[in-house]
Structure 1
Amino acid sequence: MNTLLTWLGKTDIDKSLDDKEAAIATIALKNAKPFDQIVILANAWEGEWEGYLNWLKTRLAGSKRPFGQVVIQKAKIKSPIHYESIFEESKNWINKLSNDSDTLTLSLTSGTPAMISTSVVLGKSRNNVRFVQSSELRGIEEVDIPVDFAREYVKSAAKGVANKVVKDPNSPKNLNQIIATSPKMVDVIYKAKILAKSELPVLVLGETGTGKEVMSNAIHLDSLRADKPFKAVNCGALPQTLVDSILFGHEKGAFTGASNQHKGLFEQASGGTLFLDEVGELPSDVQVKLLRVLQEGTVTRVGGSESINVDVRIIAATHRNLLKMVEANDFREDLFYRLAVGIIQLPSLRERLEDIPLLIAELIAEINSSASTQTNRNSKNISDNGIKFILSQPWLGNIRELWNTLNRAFLWSKSREISQKDIADAMITRDKTEEDSEVVLSLGQTIDARQLIDNYKKKYVIAALKASGNNLTKASTMLSLNSPQALRVWVKGLGVDLPK
């Protein structure tokens, strides 16, 4: 059976009153192969359906084309532009008619854009569907739509998941939404809330991956500037030749390629907050300019002479020890004290163990949410042993390392429940290659070298046992010992307690 499915347009009805052909009639009368069945979907002008239907059948009969199965069906849609109801109605009809027909032709001329686009998406999922359109000048045209929507959807979804994975899980949160059950994080949130309501500059310190940008954004969202811009820049990634332009802006013609005036980040963030991530990476000449902006509250664009007032709150962050950089003359002391008015010291993940189970739940929810857009990815969870194993690891890369490890574990595991082994296999091995610092002794000074060595050994034995879940075989391998028995000798001699 050869079937035509189309939506009824007002133009089809109006032209039929003058005995003229519009889209539906043109396709029905001039298609190379006559249609055995024509189904017309409509949701308006119900009083005119019968007249139009009789006219179309008469024209088909006059052209010696089948007209016995030409019907107008009332479409159960909320409006001509309500995508959800149009999708459901179109899906039902396309599935039914495609199953009952050898070929199903869909008209792309009659109906609203919502109706036409929905027909295209649904029709491309069926291998016996063709598309046609008509016009007064060109008549009937078969439309080739060389897009595999299913493949493109999977590709797009996979790209979305990939983009999510390579970024930190740092969707904007206010301070109340940041997980804080450990004493150190409770104290951090308490201080951050006080600073948020002030206009003071804030310096956020912490190891890589502890969530410095998340904290900075949260302070902004809880501040009096929450409805104003939050602009962020990674100072370590600023190109040396463009850093002035990016931060302070430039005038048209200021340098080769400056074809338009450009407002820098200070102007863009005016009224709001400018987040300077890895501020310790700023070159010395830019530190001078930044200090001047903080002191005077004005910027001058590259190539310009006018001083422009800016009202910006600065939140800076770094994983580096700025005080040591000040002592080494790598960071300006006056700039440091300008930034370090309100200081937030974020604890490492290993210092906030009480928060880890809740963090895991939050990260898993984000991973599952991203994966849900892919047809071949299932929602997964993590076992109790997996959580215990995570708690035993140092996570030197903090939340970022945990995030990436969980993503790898979810990707590779074939099970719906992530095990301790899945987490262990997903971790990146770190080799300890620390060089000994120079040892200096004064004449007459005494030290207990054996005790120092034993203390050093004991720390590493305890760390290896913790990381391996007290597995002597794995721990001995981590410590480069020949056997678990050799580790037992160390454990006994160093007075390390093994769990019963």
Structure 2
Amino acid sequence: MNTLLTWLGKTDISTAQEDKEAAIATIALNSIKPFDRIVILANNWEGDWNNYLSWLKTRLAEAKRPFTNVAINKVKIKNPIDYKTIFEESKTWINQLSNDSENLTISLTSGTPAMISTAVLLGKSRNNVRFIQSSQEKGIEDVAIPFDFAKEYVKSAAKGVANKAVKDPNARKSLNQIIVRSPEMLDVINKAKILAESELPVLVLGETGTGKEVLSNAIHMGSLRADKPFKAVNCGALPQTLVDSILFGHEKGSFTGAEHQHKGLFEQATSGTLFLDEVGELPLDIQVKLLRVLQEGSITRVGGSESINVDVRIIAATHRNLINMVEANEFREDLFYRLAVGVIQIPSLRERTDDIPLLVNELMDEINASTSTQPNAKSKNISEKGMKFILNQPWLGNIRELWNTLNRAFLWSKTAEISEKEISEAMIIRNKSQVESEIVLSLGQTVDAKQLIDNYKKKYILAALQASGNNLTKASHMLSLKSHQALKVWMESVGVELPK
């Protein structure tokens, strides 16, 4: 059986009243192979159905085409753009007609975009379904849709998960949305709220991966500039030859390839905030220009002579020690004091362990959300032992390292609960480089070498026990000892006992 499935359009009814053909009639009367059955779906204009059916059947009969098996079927949809009910009705009809027919043709001309797109998605999953459309210019024509929606969906969903995994966690949070428990971070949030209400430049300090951009964005969102642009740039990633142009812009023809005038980040961020991440990486000549912006509130584009006023609040961040850089003449002292008006030091993750369970749960929510679009997606969480293991790790890469580890553990875990073992296997081992400073002794100077060695040994024993969750076998392996018995001897020698 050759079947046509279509939605009823208002144009079909109104043109039939003038004895003219619209989409349904054009397709039914002009298809190369006549349709044995025509199924029309509708949810409106019920008072016109009988007259339309009578007219269509008459026209089919006159054309010597099958006309007895033509019907308008009422469907239950909330409205013509409600995807949920349109999907439910379309799925029922397409599955039924595809099973009952040798060939099922679906019209893509009548109906709303929601009806047509749903029909395409469902029809592509059936091997005996084809699509057709009509127009006054071209008449009727087959529609080729040369891709597999199922494969493309899986590919797109997988790409979305991959993109999320390689990026940092969500940075768009207000200060009130940053949930913390530790006294150290509560102090940071309180200081950030005070700075948010001011117009002062802010310098955010902290190790790599501590969330400096998240906090800077939150300060902007809590400021009077919240409805204005927030532009962020990693100064360490700026090409040496383009850093001037990227920050301050350039005029047309100012250098090879400058085919158009370009507004730099300072102009793009006018009335808003410019976040300079890793500001310590800026070359000294650019530091001079940045200082001028802070002092005078103006910039000059590359190749230009006009001084352009800009109203931009600067929030800078770095993991480097700027004071040491100032002393080494690697960072301008006058620029440092211009930036370091409102200074916030974000503690490392190992200094705010009270926040780790909250942070882990938040990151897992993000991972679960990003993977929910995948076929057979399964929500996962961290086991109790897994959480204890996480709390015992130093997280030298801070939140970024934790985020990447959780993504890997999520990927490899086959169950809904991610175990301590899976988290351990997901971690990247970082062997600390052994860089020893030169030791110099003056004649007559004395030191207690045994005490120094014992103190050094005790610190490493305690660190290994914490990281291994007090597992002697694992701790001895971390310290390159032959057995846990050898570790016990060490522990006894420096007075370290396992907690009971």
Question: TM-score, normalised to structure 2's length?
Answer: 0.97
Q: Is 393-402 or 60-69 further displaced after alignment?
A: 60-69
Structure 1: segments with no counterpart, 5+ residues: none
Q: Distance in 2 between matches of 1:138 and 1:345?
A: 68
The alignment partner of 1:275 has SS state of strand
Cα offset for 1:138? 3.9
Q: Which residues in structure 2 correspond to 1:16-415 (within 5 Å)?
A: 16-415=16-415
- SS state at 1:233 partner: strand
Q: Hey, what's the Cα distance between the residues in 2 that align with 1:435 and 1:171?
A: 36
Number of residue pairs matched by the alignment:
500
Give the match's secondary structure for 2:390.
helix
How far did residue 136 of structure 1 move?
A: 4.2
Q: State the shift of 1:18 in Å.
A: 4.2
Structure 2 letter corresponding to 1:377: A
Q: Which moved more, 1:7-16 or 1:46-55?
A: 7-16
> What is the alpha-carbon distance in structure 2 between the residues aligned to residue 451 and residue 353 of structure 1?
31
Q: Which residue of 2 is the match for residue 480 of structure 1?
A: 480
Cα distance in structure 1, aligned partners of 2:465 and 2:164: 34
Deviates more, 1:203-212 or 1:118-127: 118-127
Distance (Å, rounded) in 2 between the aligned partners of 1:177 and 1:17 = 60
Distance 1:174 1:10 in 2: 49
| Structure 2: tracts of 5 or more residues without a match | none
Please state how far the C-alpha of 1:242 moved relative to its aligned partner. Answer: 1.0
The amino acid of 1:472's aligned partner reads L
Question: In 2, distance between residues paired with 1:135 and 1:355?
Answer: 62
1:43/1:275 Cα in 2 relative to 1: closer, same or farther (>3 Å)?
same
| CA distance in 2: counterparts of 1:344 and 1:9, whole angstroms | 63
Give the equivalent residue in structure 1 for 2:15. Answer: 15
Amino acid at match of 2:383: S
Aligned equivalents of 2:76, 2:65: Cα separation in 1: 30
Distance 2:429 2:139 in 1: 67
1:298-324 Cα offsets, whole Å, 9 max, x none, are 011111111111111111000000000
Partner of 2:469: 469
Change in CA separation of 1:385 and 1:51 when aligned onto 2, cut-off 3 Å: same
Alignment partner, residue 5 of structure 1: 5
Secondary structure, counterpart of 2:374 in structure 1: coil
Q: Deviations over 1:19-72 (max 9, x none)?
A: 343321232233333322211122343332211111111222233332222111
- Write the letter of the residue equivalent to 1:26: T
Give distance in 2, aligned partners of 1:86 and 1:357. 43
Give CA-to-partner distance per residue, 1:120-171, whole Å, 9 cap, x none.
1221122221111233454432222111111111111111111111111133
Hey, what's the Cα distance between the residues in 2 that align with 1:208 and 1:492? 37
Q: Provide the TM-score with structure 1 as the length reference.
A: 0.97
Q: CA deviation at 1:356?
A: 0.5
Amino acid in structure 1 at the alignment position of 2:483: S
Structure 1 window deviating more from structure 2 (388-397 vs 17-26): it is 17-26
Deviation by residue 1:156-194 (Cα, 9 ceiling, x = unmatched): 111111111111113311111112211111111111111
After TM superposition, the runs of 4+ consecutive aligned structure 1 residues lying more than 6 A away are: none
Please give the alpha-carbon distance, in whole angstroms, between the structure 1 residues aligned to 2:247 and 2:71. Answer: 66
Higher mean alpha-carbon deviation, 228-237 vs 110-119, is at 110-119
**Partner deviation per Cα, 1:222-258 (whole Å, 9 max, x = no partner):** 1111111111000001111111111111112222222
CA distance in 1, matches of 2:24, 2:108: 10
Q: In 1, distance between residues paired with 2:396 and 2:262?
A: 40
Q: Distance in 2 between matches of 1:262 and 1:334?
A: 29
Aligned mates of 1:404, 1:230 — CA distance in 2: 26
Amino acid of the residue matched to residue 339 of structure 1? L
Contact 2:180–2:358 (8 Å) recurs in 1? no
User: Which residue identity does 2:310 align to in structure 1?
Assistant: V
Cα distance in 2 between the residues matched to 1:182 and 1:136: 70
Structure 1 residue aligned with 2:499? 499
| Corresponding residue of 1:453 | 453
Between the aligned residues of both structures, percent identity stands at: 78
Q: Distance in 1 between matches of 2:380 and 2:319?
A: 33
- The CA deviation at 1:211 is 0.3
Give per-residue Cα distances to partners, 1:255-274, cap 9 Å, x unaligned: 22222221111111111111
Q: CA deviation at 1:372?
A: 0.3
Bigger Cα displacement from structure 2, 192-201 vs 354-363: 192-201
- Between the aligned partners of 1:133 and 1:146, the Cα distance in structure 2 is 16
Distance 1:341 1:497 in 2: 47
How much is the aligned-residue C-alpha RMSD, in angstroms?
1.6
User: CA 1:137–1:175 in 2, change beyond 3 Å: closer, same or farther?
Assistant: closer
Deviates more, 1:97-106 or 1:457-466: 97-106
Secondary structure at the aligned position of 1:498 is classed as: coil
Shift of 1:293: 0.8
Q: Distance in 1 between matches of 2:352 and 2:51?
A: 76
> 1:195 corresponds to which letter in structure 2?
L
| 8 Å CA contact retained: 2:171, 2:213 | no
* 3-state DSSP of counterpart to 2:325: helix
Aligned counterparts of 2:255 and 2:86: Cα–Cα separation in 1:
54
CA displacement, residues 80-105 of structure 1 (integer Å, 9 cap, x when unaligned) = 34444433332232223223323221
Structure 2 counterpart of 1:151, one-letter code:
K
Greater alpha carbon shift after TM alignment, 93-102 vs 244-253: 93-102
How far does residue 113 in structure 1 lie from its aligned partner after superposition?
Answer: 2.8
**What is the CA distance between 1:472 and its match in structure 2?**
1.1
Superposed CA offset, 1:388-409 (max 9, x none): 0000000000000000000000
Contact 2:382/2:419, CA 8 A, preserved across alignment: yes
Q: What is the letter of the counterpart of residue 459 of structure 1? A: K
CA distance in 1: counterparts of 2:68 and 2:284, whole angstroms:
85
